[in-house]
């Protein structure tokens, strides 16, 4: 739905402003976004009304498979060189068609514009006469209204941290440093058991350095612009891999997180539905490395009122 909404927004701009160049965009974690090169100011309500017209017309969303050369020629004929530049070198590429509008847009789409029940957009100017359209879409007007109200009341974790006196911009203050250190010690307590702890030089391949230690479990606290807890497991069976991943999951549950896991890591949703990576997973054969992102975990604990776990330590 979000992918199709992005293309309907691009189609609306294309039909309203033929001289405008479409730059880049697509679905986001909470809606959709597109950037354009505009030679003059625009009014988002005009674009939104054009999108509504496309929806009312119940335009079919057609998916065309084309060879890259033909797709490029089609996009160039519609004065969209930036979109032609992003075409991959593959046998076939997937193009979306909405009326006379065509664009390179791989992935699943709605069948018809009428399926886009409710949406809202805003526009913001960018340097060099560019414009970004950000949008949100839902399956009903009530859902959209509820989400926009939630968005209005949402406070970013970085701002919450400032309100608690943890930091100001990139500068950390004593309460923030204390909380971060408590979190690091908590993660070490739960995750470092049985590990050979080391400290790697900055900028090295930590996985390779860990493997050189010839130990089944190697761990370190990585300090830098961002703080990370990194644990490597070697020579694992499938059952041991599962157990190692469960260890991470149990630790996040103790901290109070509702989370999901995929092949790439452990995620939680923030207060407006964005996916936040708490810990990355890197599997290499029988080896496994987990990288927990300390500042992200701390920010999400602040947002979700989970700091009591650390305060009791």
CATH value at residue 108: 3.30.980.10
Structural domains of the chain, count: 2
Range of the domain at 273: 159-311
pLDDT reading at 304 higher than 80: yes
Condensed to tens digits (0 to 9), the pLDDT of residues 140-182 reads 999 999 999 999 999 999 999 999 999 999 999 999 999 999 9
For the chain, the average pLDDT equals: 94
Other residues' Cβ atoms within 10 Å of the Cβ of residue 175: 13
Query: What's the pLDDT at 288?
Result: 96
Predicted pLDDT at 19: 82
Length of the chain: 313
Which of these, 45, 223, 32, 54, lies nearest to 134 by C-alpha position?
A: 32
Predicted TM-score (pTM) of the model is 0.78
3-state secondary structure of 296: helix
Does residue 191 share a domain with residue 133?
A: no
Provide the pLDDT for residue 313.
63
Residue 127: count of CB within 10 angstroms of its CB: 5
Give residue 39's pLDDT band: very low, low, confident or very high (50, 70, 90): confident
Terminal C-alpha separation, the chain: 44
Identify the H or E element spanning 282.
strand 275-284
pLDDT, residue 139, reads 87
pLDDT (0 to 100) of residue 227: 95
pLDDT at 35 over 70: yes
SS3 191: helix
Domain stop point among 95, 128, 153: 153
Task: Express each pLDDT in 258-286 by its tens digit.
Answer: 999 999 999 999 999 889 999 999 999 99
Q: Are residues 167 and 244 in the same domain?
A: yes
Q: What is the DSSP string of 119-146?
A: EEEEEEEETTTEEEEEEEEESSHHHHHH
Same domain, 6 and 131: yes
């Amino acid at each position: 739905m979000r992918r199709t909404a992005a293309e309907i927004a691009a189609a609306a701009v294309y039909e309203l402003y033929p001289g405008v160049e479409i730059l880049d965009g697509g679905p986001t974690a909470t809606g959709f976004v597109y950037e354009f090169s505009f030679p003059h100011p625009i009014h988002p309500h005009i674009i939104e009304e054009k999108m509504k017209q496309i929806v009312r017309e119940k335009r079919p969303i057609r998916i065309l498979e084309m060879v890259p050369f033909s797709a490029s020629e089609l996009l160039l004929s519609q004065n969209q060189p930036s979109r032609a530049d992003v075409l991959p070198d593959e046998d076939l590429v997937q193009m979306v068609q909405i009326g006379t509008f065509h664009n390179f847009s791989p992935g699943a789409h709605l069948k018809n514009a009428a399926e886009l029940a409710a949406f809202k957009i805003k526009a913001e100017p960018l340097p060099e006469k560019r414009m970004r359209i950000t949008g949100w879409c839902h399956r009903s007007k009530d859902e959209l209204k509820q989400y926009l109200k939630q968005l209005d009341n949402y406070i970013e974790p970085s701002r919450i941290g400032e309100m608690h006196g943890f930091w100001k911009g990139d500068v950390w203050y004593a309460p923030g440093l204390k909380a971060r250190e408590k979190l690091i010690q908590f993660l070490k307590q739960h995750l470092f058991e049985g590990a050979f702890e080391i400290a790697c030089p900055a900028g090295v391949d930590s996985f390779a350095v860990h493997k050189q230690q010839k130990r089944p479990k190697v761990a370190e606290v990585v300090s830098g612009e961002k703080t990370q807890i990194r644990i490597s497991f070697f020579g694992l069976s499938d059952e041991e891999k599962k157990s190692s991943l469960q260890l991470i999951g149990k630790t996040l549950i103790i901290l109070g997180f509702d989370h999901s896991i995929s092949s790439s890591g452990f995620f939680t949703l923030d207060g407006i539905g964005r996916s936040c990576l708490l810990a990355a997973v890197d599997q290499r054969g029988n080896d496994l490395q987990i990288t927990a992102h300390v500042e992200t975990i701390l920010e999400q604990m602040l947002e979700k009122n989970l700091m009591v776990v650390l305060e009791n330590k």
